[in-house]
Amino acid sequence: MISASSMTNSSISPQYIPRLKASIELRNVTKRFLTPNGQAYTALRDLSLSIAPGEFCAIVGPTGCGKSTTLGLISGLERPSSGEVQVMGQPVQGIDPRIGYVFQSDAVFPWKNVLRNVATGPLFRGKPKKEALAQARDWIARVGLSGFEDRYPHQLSGGMRKRVALAQTFINEPQILLMDEPFSALDVQTRTLMEDELLQLWSSTSASVVFVTHDLEEAISLADRVCVLTAGPATVKGIYTIDLPRPRNVAEIRFEPRFVHLYQEIWEDLRNEVLISYERTKQRNQ
Ligand SMILES: Nc1ncnc2c1ncn2[C@@H]1O[C@H](COP(=O)(O)OP(=O)(O)OP(=O)(O)O)[C@@H](O)[C@H]1O
């Protein structure tokens, strides 16, 4: 059995994890899928991970290792084949309204303008229209889109659409935010701006964030802890505490000696898994 605490890297304070009550807990989770040819494919094996209330945890791992599957289990979109997934101390059973999502592709409604997109959650929950729209205007201002309330998604840049998606998610005050490579389709400059924006929005909430990314720099810049997954079937290879001070400036923190040190340390772990995954793919294609 591999548990998050037994895999914990030396930089974690030994008192840190036991004292915290988890808002997300995966215990010895295995997930198998049935492939089109009828065989079972094990995507996750014996994966244990515990995420504290208000914690920002980034998950990195080789391509196809099982990162999105892990989010799918927390969200309730998928069920574990064995093991247990708990959110706020309860087993996950279906979709949980306390959980918000931001994915790589824009989840905005193309037929709604910015104001209506952002107001979707409160209106859906039955909030009076006037209140919902006022709340939406407030969130639109917080993500720097005041003046664009009447625009439709196709009239916005990729970065602006991402801001709409963030406002649309944060307006629902999620207690857990699942993010699957949310900024990977953006250009480098916009991406950095959005990362800063996300940290600012998150700092005013008490949400736990699980952020999946291929980009180790992004993971270290944003997170309190970085979890490295093994080449599939994924399990936890190592967990690293990112002891960089907050608030962080994402563009500048990458030049800090401590950042570079953490990057080297984590990359050692990640590189081996990336190589294993790469070798497997090469062999399959030969
Ligand atoms: N519904 C499914 N049926 C069969 N296999 C699946 C299913 N969903 C995922 N898989 C397989 O499980 C493995 C893990 O997929 P997953 O999408 O979780 O990986 P990932 O780490 O998020 O990938 P990437 O880094 O490319 O985004 C992959 O081999 C994938 O093909």
Q: How confident is the model at residue 2 (pLDDT cuts 50, 70, 90)?
A: very low
Residue-level pLDDT at 5: 39
Structural domains of the chain, ranges and CATH numbers in brackets: 1-98+183-286 (3.40.50.300), 108-173 (no CATH)
Q: Could you tell me if the ipTM is greater than 0.95?
A: yes
Give 45-64 pLDDT, tens digit per residue: 999 999 999 999 999 999 99
120-130 mean pLDDT? 94
Q: What is the pLDDT of the chain when averaged over all its residues? A: 90
Give 131-169 pLDDT, tens digit per residue: 999 999 999 998 999 999 999 999 999 889 999 999 999
Give 87-120 pLDDT, tens digit per residue: 999 999 888 889 999 988 877 899 999 999 999 9
Ligand 1 center from residue 132 Cα (angstroms): 37
**Do 182 and 104 meet the contact criterion of CB atoms below 8 Å apart?**
yes
Name the token pair of 208.
């736990």
Whether residue 8 has pLDDT greater than 60: no
Ligand 1 center from residue 242 Cα (angstroms): 27
What distances in angstroms separate CA 203 from CA 30, 36, 38, one per listed residue?
33, 43, 46
Q: Which atom of ligand 1 is nearest to the CA of 41?
A: 5
Does the Cβ of 6 fall within 6 Å of ligand 1?
no
**Do 178 and 107 meet the contact criterion of CB atoms below 8 Å apart?**
no
14-39 mean pLDDT? 80
Does the Cβ of 64 fall within 6 Å of ligand 1?
yes
Q: How confident is the model at residue 40 (pLDDT cuts 50, 70, 90)?
A: very high
Closest alpha carbon to 73 in 33, 21, 26, 4:
26
**H or E element: which one contains 225?**
strand 225-229
**Do 57 and 223 meet the contact criterion of CB atoms below 8 Å apart?**
yes
Closest alpha carbon to 92 in 71, 75, 70, 104:
75
Whether residue 3 has pLDDT greater than 70: no
- Pocket probe mutation, ligand 1, options 30, 41, 75, 277, max atoms within 8 Å of Cβ: 41
Q: Which atom of ligand 1 is nearest to the CA of 212?
A: 22
Residue-level pLDDT at 223: 98
